[in-house]
Amino acid sequence: LVTTASRPSSRRCTCSRPPLPSHAPAPGRRFLARRPSFRHFPACHHILSITAAACCTDSCSLPTLLQVKYDLYGVRSCVINALAYLAQGKENPNWNSGSDSKMLIPQTKNIGLPLMNLMRFKGLPILQQLHIEEQLLRTSSENWCIVNDGTNDPTIVMGVSGKPAELLEIESVLDDQVPVIRRFTGGGTVIVDHGTVFVTFICNKEAVPNLQPYPRPIMSWSSSLYSKVFQGIGDFHLRENDYVFGNHKFGGNAQSITKNRWIHHTSFLWDFNVQNMSYLKHPKRAPAYRSARSHLDFICRMKDYMPRSTFMDKTVEATETQFSLRPIQLEAIRTCSEAEFCPSSRFLTNEELEAAAVALQS
């Protein structure tokens, strides 16, 4: 704890000693509006003033009971701030924020939670999102949450082992020049656009207590987080690795697991264009609960259950129950250069798609 040289405070005293800044609440309020910074708050001063005053025979130095209570609040605040500083490596900014007393509570709850950086985008191209994710997975040692509210152009995104001939109506894709990406994570094929909301978690393997870094435990953890988001809404649950309302899929998941870290990302169908689904074939590897239903009978729109901004806000809130979130701008992270990390997610070329179509016909 940082303390300043302490001089006994004078409370309702007529002696010549000058009063020190009081951390008494504003008139008409019972508690401090803002938690004082521990660097500017002489905690020991208050401890000493209570002790010294107790020994003083001068009646003007005796603290009132109310002042003792405020001193104790001050000491408590100082200790909490110091712990938060040690846990997060930074000062609680609330001292200068002018915020009201409600800000005291969230900071108290975040103590001891692992730190997670939060990046929010709107309309970031999906390939750029995938590049950022792969770079953070492979080169960062911190935890990350990325929320991308829609992507720009309709794009098909296949998993790492996806075969275009099996998964896509290649002729239509080529005729309409729909971009096709092979991403670095596993899983199936999606077509994404401005109606898709993406949420990604990138974590060190120790970030979530008692979580084994394997596909099913990570999937189970993620579904428990989203259960908080969709509590009481639409019979939400995880069904064979998909997020569903009832038996209709609205969220697809994929993961990549390295030696010490993992990524779990989800594309949520807040809305979709019916016509776009015609570019995708019925996959060979489909979950049993799909029961051979067509795309349109199998999937549903999240917009029928929850407003878009509500979903993103509730997801951040649910994440805050397990992590201390720190907003980060894209410019703050290093950009990829040839000498550093090169991501593997990429567009498939027209030649590759044409070759796949020819191989299918032969």
> Rounded to whole angstroms, how far apart are CA atoms 4 and 199?
46
> Rounded to whole angstroms, how far apart are CA atoms 310 and 197?
12
> Rounded to whole angstroms, how far apart are CA atoms 134 and 156?
18
| Contact region with another protein (CB under 8 A), list: 4-12, 33-41, 210-218, 317-325 | 210-218
> Rounded to whole angstroms, how far apart are CA atoms 328 and 70?
36
Beta strands in the chain (DSSP E): 115-122, 143-149, 155-158, 180-182, 190-192, 196-204, 236-239, 242-245, 248-257, 261-269, 324-327, 346-347
| Contact region with another protein (CB under 8 A), list: 27-35, 57-65, 211-219, 350-358 | 211-219
Q: Amino acid letter at 324?
A: S
Task: Read off the tokens for 324.
Answer: 């201390």
Give me the least distance between CB of 134 and another protein, in Å please. Answer: 11
CB 266 within 8 A of CB 199: yes
Closer to another protein at the Cβ: 114 or 186?
186
Measured N-to-C along each axis, helices 215-229 and 308-320 cross at an angle, to the nearest 10 degrees, of 120
Positions 46 through 65 that interact with another protein (CB under 8 A): none
Q: Which of 50, 211, 225, 316 binds another protein (CB under 8 A)?
A: 211
Closer to another protein at the Cβ: 50 or 165?
165
Positions 277 through 296 that interact with another protein (CB under 8 A): 285, 288-289
Positions 62 through 81 that interact with another protein (CB under 8 A): none
Positions 216 through 255 that interact with another protein (CB under 8 A): 216-220, 237-241, 253-255
> Rounded to whole angstroms, how far apart are CA atoms 142 and 116?
7
Give me the least distance between CB of 305 and another protein, in Å please. Answer: 19
Site string for another protein, 294-333 (x = CB under 8 A): ----------------------------------------
Give me the least distance between CB of 185 and another protein, in Å please. Answer: 6
Strands 115-122 and 324-327: parallel
DSSP conformational letter for 79: H
Closer to another protein at the Cβ: 285 or 334?
285
Site string for another protein, 159-198 (x = CB under 8 A): xxx----------------------xxxxx----------
| Contact region with another protein (CB under 8 A), list: 80-88, 90-98, 209-217, 316-324 | 209-217
Q: Which of 68, 115, 165, 257 binds another protein (CB under 8 A)?
A: 257
- For the CA atoms of the chain, what is the radius of gyration? 28
Q: Which of 57, 59, 210, 362 binds another protein (CB under 8 A)?
A: 210
Closer to another protein at the Cβ: 210 or 275?
210
CB 164 within 8 A of CB 353: yes
> Rounded to whole angstroms, how far apart are CA atoms 103 and 308?
26
Closer to another protein at the Cβ: 33 or 211?
211
> Rounded to whole angstroms, how far apart are CA atoms 201 and 203?
6
Closer to another protein at the Cβ: 61 or 135?
135
CA 111: distance to chain centroid?
17
Q: Which of 51, 258, 310, 335 binds another protein (CB under 8 A)?
A: 258
Residues that bind another protein (CB under 8 A): 159-161, 184-188, 210-212, 214-220, 237-241, 253-259, 285, 288-289
